[in-house]
Homo-oligomer: A and B are copies of this chain.
Amino acid sequence: MYSEVIQQAAAGLAETIQSTAIPLYGDIVRLPDRKEVIGILKDLRKVLFPAYFGNKALMNQPAQDYEAQLLSEIQLHLEEQIALCLPLTEENTRRAQEISLDLISRLPAIGRMLLKDLEATFDGDPAAESSEEILFAYPGLYAIFVYRVAHPLYEHHVPLIPRIMSEYAHSRTGIDINPGAVIGEYFFIDHGTGIVVGETTIIGNHVKLYQGVTLGALSPRFGHNSIPGKRHPTVEDNVTIYSGATILGGNTVIGANTVVGGNAFLTRSVSGNTKVVIKAPETIYENA
């Protein structure tokens, strides 16, 4: 027999669980398998950067064969996980397959994008010794990789999986890029911790973000005139945003070739070719 305390707590929890409309008990929620989703991310790195993350024993065959094998497996796992996120119908079984195949077919382009991001990172960070080091150890490139594979799933309205992917990257890197964001080529993220890129953000080519930058929404109470649905800013080509800057609002556009200084706080658009500097608050130097 369970002790009194255990029994009462069990009864209480059973009641709590049933007190809500959210299904909390039983085999009633279709859910993907978090470990499998993370496994797919791992396998995607094997496909995109074989020499760094793949199994060397498999690489004495032609690259195309190596890729075909791994892609077949990834496609199966992905199809399975997508199907687990959708109500069980024949239609959805087909959709799960189509979506997984679509992601597979985009991988070569994603690979080319990531090589450009890698180049941008190498150019942007004087502390980087080699492309190798960036590929192998940089959190910024890792977060961009996860974004680039999660985004097509977001576009297909796959529930949960893109979010699981982006939160996994967030947890490892402190960089939170919503998979809904639209991000151009040659994207560079330095250090990274504390970066937030919101769901409806649009970012052009050759953009650089430093740690602690927020591309966020005006809060409901503060914001006005937002394009319905577009809650986060637009950043045009060749923009650099230094650490701690906050740019908010769906109508806010940072024009091309602009540099936004550290800790800037912008809720209005900035035309292109501008240098935005915060006039430093007065600093007082007292004798200690």
A interface residues, Cβ below 8 angstroms from B:
1-3, 5-20, 22-29, 31, 33-34, 47-52, 56-69, 71-73, 75-76, 79-80, 83-84, 88, 93, 97, 101, 104-105, 107-109, 111-112, 115, 118, 126-127, 129-133, 135-139, 159-160, 163-164, 167, 170-174, 176, 178, 180, 191, 193-194, 196, 198-199, 211-212, 214, 216-217, 219, 221-222, 231, 240, 242-244, 246, 248, 257-259, 261-266, 270, 273-288
Do B10 and A68 touch (CB < 8 A)?
A: yes
Do A6 and B274 touch (CB < 8 A)?
A: no
Do B216 and A243 touch (CB < 8 A)?
A: yes
**Interchain CA distance A127-B167 in the complex, whole Å:** 14
**Interchain CA distance A79-B10 in the complex, whole Å:** 17
Query: In this complex, what residue of B is CB-closest to A219?
Result: B242
Do B27 and A107 touch (CB < 8 A)?
A: no
Do B50 and A24 touch (CB < 8 A)?
A: yes
A–B pairs, 14, beta carbons within 8 Å: A5-B101, A9-B71, A13-B71, A14-B62, A31-B136, A34-B136, A60-B88, A72-B72, A170-B193, A193-B196, A246-B263, A257-B288, A265-B278, A265-B283
Residues of B with C-beta under 8 A to A22: 115, 118, 131-132, 135
CB distance from A244 to the nearest CB of B (A): 7
Contact A159:B107 (CB < 8 A) given known A14-B62, A47-B13, A277-B283: no
Residue in B59, B65, B76, B259 whose beta carbon sits within 8 Å of that of A221 in the complex: B259
Do A159 and B176 touch (CB < 8 A)?
A: no
Do A104 and B216 touch (CB < 8 A)?
A: no
Do B16 and A115 touch (CB < 8 A)?
A: yes
Do B283 and A276 touch (CB < 8 A)?
A: yes
Residues of B with C-beta under 8 A to A8: 105
Contact A25:B51 (CB < 8 A) given known A76-B73, A160-B133, A279-B281: yes
Do B281 and A285 touch (CB < 8 A)?
A: no
Do B173 and A171 touch (CB < 8 A)?
A: yes
Q: Identify 7 new A-B residue pairs, CB closer than 8 A, beyond the known A15-B108, A56-B56, A129-B159.
A: A14-B64, A17-B50, A24-B51, A56-B57, A126-B217, A127-B198, A248-B262
Residues of B with C-beta under 8 A to A23: 51
